[in-house]
């Protein structure tokens, strides 16, 4: 075959050279790709080797061959915390340790648990329930001793006027309790008197240091409901008046309704009027039972009991006298709505070294078996923080 037969006249010399150059470029490109693949493979092998070596005891300094305690991110968000739970090392080496065992994690701004013990402890302490408050020390409760001897802490009503007497002002000079303000005596000594005291020598009582007496005028029968006069009232009144003692009165109520309370008030006022009784100290209403028998008012609820007492005191006040409510700490707090009785004075009956009644009061019967001249048996002694004869 001739050379001219193998030559295609459609291609000139320039065209043939361009084709050859293109072939050379393709061959060079293939060599570049193979080189890049080799380089990438080399770096992958190096990286895997570094990670395996970094995870070894030689790198971590774990000389005791036990896994380091996994640490949990304290901050950084839930997504970041979930990411930290992935066992990256287990995927690579099969080791059970986590990514936090690699020292380079310290480069990230993550609060480590050991660095936040104090802050976490304070949060836990504030979140944990506090110990139960001691009612004897919190200043918000007062102790009541029931007649059966049981005790109960009850919450003090923050809206009622409080007992503001300074305990340091109480001075006991046998057999009398006195109260001082700025080294000046501001109290008066009194005694409750009834037929149970038999014959009382009121002149001797006054010489003993008693300033006033509170005489029992009468009572309503606890079971019968009948009204009656104390057997010694009129005689006691005459002799106490002659002895120059200031005089107050008390009536023992068993009213089961406001109507009966009004009946009792009328009974007291009529007795005073009919016998020309002079009274310059309070007239007290007492609902305390002297015996253990059942009373017709035992089941009376707090509100009707309070309304009955208010009816009595309003009637006494309207007549121009000083009404006062007498009772034990238990009776006053648990059987009456004291918030409804604001504005009326109280005589608290509490045998104690110091009064613990938490609310405002004007008299305190502190002893029911005192020894004083003029009374043969135990005297019921009371201190008044005001001289009512001077009103």
Q: What is the structure's pLDDT at 151?
A: 93
| Two tokens, residue 44 | 């992958």
What are the two backbone dihedrals, phi and then psi, of residue 236, each rounded to the nearest 5 degrees?
-60, -40
The arithmetic mean of pLDDT across residues 370-387, rounded, is 97
Query: Is the pLDDT assigned to residue 15 strictly greater than 80?
Result: no
Q: 83 pLDDT band (50/70/90 cuts)?
A: very low
In the predicted model, what is the mean pLDDT of the chain? 79
* Lowest mean per-residue pLDDT among 16-25, 175-184, 266-275: 16-25
User: Between 106 and 197, where is the model more confident?
Assistant: 197
Q: What is the structure's pLDDT at 11?
A: 40
Q: Which residues of 9-21 are buried (b: 16+ CB within 10 A; e: fewer)?
A: eeeeeeeeeeeee
Q: What is the structure's pLDDT at 78?
A: 39
Q: CA triplet 337, 338, 339: central angle to 5 degrees? A: 90
Distance CA 301, CA 210 (A): 38
Q: 44 pLDDT band (50/70/90 cuts)?
A: confident
| Two tokens, residue 317 | 């006040």
Q: What is the structure's pLDDT at 289?
A: 78
Which residues lie closer than 8 Å to 274 by C-beta, 6 or more apart? none
Strand order in the sheet with 184-185: 170-173, 176-181, 184-185
Contacts for 162-167 with beta carbons within 8 Å, 24 or more apart? Answer: 162/358, 162/359, 162/360, 163/355, 163/357, 163/358, 163/359, 163/360, 163/361, 164/360, 165/355, 165/385, 167/354
User: Between 198 and 88, where is the model more confident?
Assistant: 198
Q: Integer distance in angstroms from the first to the last C-alpha of the chain?
A: 157
Domain 141-390, second-level architecture: Alpha-Beta Barrel (3.20)
Query: Is the pLDDT assigned to residue 19 strictly greater than 90?
Result: no
Q: What is the structure's pLDDT at 28?
A: 54
Query: Is the pLDDT assigned to residue 100 strictly greater than 60?
Result: no
The region, left, alpha or beta by phi > 0 then psi within -120 to 50, assigned to residue 12 is beta
Q: What is the structure's pLDDT at 292?
A: 65
Query: Is the pLDDT assigned to residue 48 strictly greater than 60?
Result: yes
Q: What is the structure's pLDDT at 115?
A: 36
Distance CA 105, CA 319 (A): 91
Residue among 193, 216, 206, 249 nearest 374 (CA) = 206
Q: What is the structure's pLDDT at 56?
A: 52
All structural domains of the chain with their residue ranges: 14-127, 141-390
Task: Judge contact between 359 and 163, C-beta under 8 A.
Answer: yes
């Amino acid at each position: 075959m001739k050379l001219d037969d193998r030559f295609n006249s459609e291609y000139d010399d320039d065209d043939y050279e361009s084709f050859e150059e293109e072939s050379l470029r393709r061959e060079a490109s293939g060599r570049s790709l193979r080189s890049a693949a080799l380089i990438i493979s080399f770096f992958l092998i190096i990286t895997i080797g570094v990670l395996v070596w970094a995870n070894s005891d030689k790198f971590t300094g774990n000389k005791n061959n036990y896994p380091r305690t996994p640490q949990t991110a304290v901050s950084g968000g839930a997504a970041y915390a979930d990411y930290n739970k992935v066992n990256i090392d287990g995927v690579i080496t099969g080791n059970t340790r986590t990514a936090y065992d690699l020292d380079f994690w310290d480069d990230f701004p993550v609060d480590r648990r050991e660095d936040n013990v104090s802050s976490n402890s304070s949060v836990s302490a504030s979140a944990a329930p506090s110990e139960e408050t001691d009612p004897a020390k919190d200043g918000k409760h007062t102790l009541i001793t029931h007649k059966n001897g049981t005790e109960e802490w009850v919450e003090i009503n923050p809206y009622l006027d409080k007992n503001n007497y300074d305990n340091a002002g109480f001075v006991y000079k046998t057999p009398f309790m006195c109260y001082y303000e700025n080294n000046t005596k501001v109290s008066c000594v009194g005694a409750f008197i009834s037929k149970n005291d038999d014959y009382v020598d009121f002149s001797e009582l006054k010489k003993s240091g008693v300033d006033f007496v509170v005489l029992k005028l009468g009572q309503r029968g606890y079971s019968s409901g009948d009204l009656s006069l104390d057997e010694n009232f009129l005689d006691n009144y005459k002799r106490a008046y002659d002895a120059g003692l200031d005089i107050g009165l008390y009536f023992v109520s068993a009213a089961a309704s406001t109507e009966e309370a009004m009946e009792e008030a009328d009974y007291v006022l009529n007795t005073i009027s009919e016998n020309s009784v002079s009274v310059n100290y309070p007239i007290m209403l007492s609902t305390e039972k002297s015996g253990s028998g059942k009373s017709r008012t035992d089941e009376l609820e707090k509100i009707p009991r309070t309304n009955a007492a208010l009816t009595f005191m309003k009637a006494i006040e309207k007549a121009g006298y000083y009404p006062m409510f007498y009772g034990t700490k238990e009776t006053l707090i648990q059987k009456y709505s004291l918030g409804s009785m604001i504005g009326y004075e109280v005589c608290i009956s509490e045998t104690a070294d110091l009064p613990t009644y938490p609310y405002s009061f004007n008299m305190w019967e502190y002893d029911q078996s005192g020894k004083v001249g003029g009374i043969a048996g135990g005297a019921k002694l009371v201190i008044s923080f005001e001289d009512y004869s001077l009103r």
